[in-house]
Structure 1
């Protein structure tokens, strides 16, 4: 299941079924895809607010189901993926992850998305910022090469 909804009140909702994938017996959530979709959604929300003059406050909620003992993957260039090498990967301790933020004004899409990436990393027990490339064409920035749907 995949959908994008634009509500009459101006809110945007995006839903993706089967976001996570398996590496061996470990459930893996694609960090770069989560950050990229958040960026796209925030940019779309910015356009909606500008077009229909919607006033704040704004609420941003990101929910991931079945995160207990899951890890992150699908990183930007230069980061080792789960199952590659001998590195142990941190896992989420929470059964489900719910990140929530309220703002008076609409946040900048890039700032929001990169902050969300940091918060997701923290929820999975790391602070590496693996949604930012360590090398290559996008080194130091967000690597936009990800599958949208």
Structure 2
């Protein structure tokens, strides 16, 4: 994991990147910011945040993070700018839906792994506040 001042998602500093979201002081304004904050929540074991940002229609009933899990998160990569531009072009058709493609690297028991996912997000307004929620993901070849 990066140094304490570096955000786990790769942002400059944790205090100015994901901490305000994880602490409930701010709401991510984009699907990508939510995805980055969820990655940080996984690295820090913050199950409550993961549940709060998972869409109620797809949130798992059981535990999301196993306390005995020996996963060591190594880094996050948002896929190429070309894919991001394509995603933003699609945003015009549906401003309340978005996708984020990423690769998260991690180790379990000394063995390196990577999770390549295209995550779907939806934005809904509750109590006058628009919030992004993780809906589900697929795994490209």
Q: Provide TM-score, normalisation by structure 1.
A: 0.32
Q: Which has the higher contact order (CA 8 A, sep 6+)?
A: 1
Q: Provide TM-score, normalisation by structure 2.
A: 0.34
